[in-house]
Amino acid sequence: MRASKLARRLPVLLAVVLAACSLLLAPARAQEPARRLVRIGFVHPHSASSATHGVTAFWDRLHELGYVEGSNLQIEARWADGHTERLPELAAEVLARKPDLLVTYGTPAALAAKHATSTVPIVGVAMGEPLRTGLVTSLAHPDGNLTGTSVGWAEGIGGKWLELLRELVPRLADVAVIEDPDNPIARDLAADLKAIGPTRRLNVRFVEVREPSALDRVFGQAARKAQACIVLPAPFISAHRAQVTALAAKHRLPAIYYLRDYVDAGGLMAYAPDMDAQFRRAADYAGKILNGARPADLPIEQPTRWALIVNVKAAKALGLTIPESILLRADEVIR
């Protein structure tokens, strides 16, 4: 008799249990990316065709995290085409679209975003020196609405570039430094190089450039006295990196660069942070923020890996032989 009653009640009990499970699971499901549309703003100082290495890695990593454009992700991308003065306007334009998150590349874009909003979360990728430039007051506990990754161009990196050039170029005495003095990161690096040069018994000459049309003249000026050169960070210079590496070859000026993209464009050598890793980590931060984390609770990460990339073909065209000491340390050799 009792078994019969239990059998009659079993469907009711089962329905109650299923309803309870559904209620318990509902909040978790609501947090799944596929359940809501998110809008991400993206501001880059270059053009889509000249964007630096790593941008694709950002969107690939977001895809892995469950965010798919056309499904649950809407992207509001803006490109400055090498004109950094447009970055504040582009940041404001993206913010008018009411994004859930704003992603930027480089220090000027991060500064433009920071000045444009104090509420929308910002993930800055490959920021130069967030402390020096005033983006944050602490790397471990960034204040406000900005976090992300830094390329870690701290004091000492200039010395590394100079040492690599001295290994490569016999009897090196004069090095030209090509810089945009309006770029805050370039200014800091130039100050470091000015201090480091004499300790390496090298005469460091600074050649200023503020616009692409002056690049040919600047390289000609640099080559008159220097035996090698360093190209410092600047969005408009990087956007014209194919022209830059061609000019270095034309004036037979061995150059070291701060991004591997220059070597991909035919340049001689780069000692630079891994941009794929920077962008993928930034995507992880974006995912955390979209799921409720606060930027102030996510420390700004410094690069854990630097890569030395050398181009043997470019060296031969300059009449140089890359020493075994450099080849053995190189992370990638382009032949």
pLDDT digits (tens, 9 = 90+) for 21-55: 454 444 444 344 445 899 999 999 999 888 878 89
Domain count, the chain: 2
168 — pLDDT class (breaks 50, 70, 90): very high
Together in a domain, 196 and 292:
no
Gap between the Cα atoms of 241 and 221, Å rounded:
18
| Distance set, CA 68 to CA 21, 42, 148, 254, 309 (Å) | 28, 15, 21, 43, 33
| Distance set, CA 10 to CA 1, 14, 15, 25 (Å) | 14, 6, 9, 22
Together in a domain, 207 and 262:
yes
Query: What's the CATH number where 139 sits?
Result: 3.40.50.2300
286 — pLDDT class (breaks 50, 70, 90): very high
Tens digit of each residue's pLDDT (9 = 90 or more) over 171-192 = 999 999 999 998 888 888 999 9
For residue 199, give the H/E element and its range. Answer: none
| Distance set, CA 96 to CA 173, 294, 305 (Å) | 52, 21, 37
User: How confident is the model at residue 235, as a pLDDT?
Assistant: 85
Together in a domain, 176 and 247:
yes
E-assigned strands of the chain?
38-44, 73-79, 101-105, 122-127, 146-150, 174-179, 203-208, 228-231, 255-257, 269-273, 306-311, 332-334
User: How confident is the model at residue 32, as a pLDDT?
Assistant: 47
Is residue 20, in this structure, part of any structural domain at all?
A: no
9 — pLDDT class (breaks 50, 70, 90): low
Together in a domain, 250 and 141:
no
Is residue 255, in this structure, part of any structural domain at all?
A: yes
What is the residue-averaged pLDDT of the chain?
A: 88
Gap between the Cα atoms of 83 and 27, Å rounded:
45
Tens digit of each residue's pLDDT (9 = 90 or more) over 225-269 = 999 999 999 888 998 999 999 999 999 999 999 999 999 999 999
User: How confident is the model at residue 154, as a pLDDT?
Assistant: 60
Taking 50 as the threshold, does the pLDDT of residue 143 lie above it? Answer: yes
| Residue numbers of the domain that contains 103 | 37-152+274-304
Is residue 134, in this structure, part of any structural domain at all?
A: yes
Together in a domain, 53 and 106:
yes
User: How confident is the model at residue 129, as a pLDDT?
Assistant: 81
Query: To the nearest whole percent, how much of the chain has pLDDT over 70?
Result: 89
Is residue 10, in this structure, part of any structural domain at all?
A: no
Together in a domain, 108 and 257:
no
User: How confident is the model at residue 184, as a pLDDT?
Assistant: 80
Q: If you average pLDDT over residues 6-13, what whole number do you get?
A: 48
User: How confident is the model at residue 157, as a pLDDT?
Assistant: 86
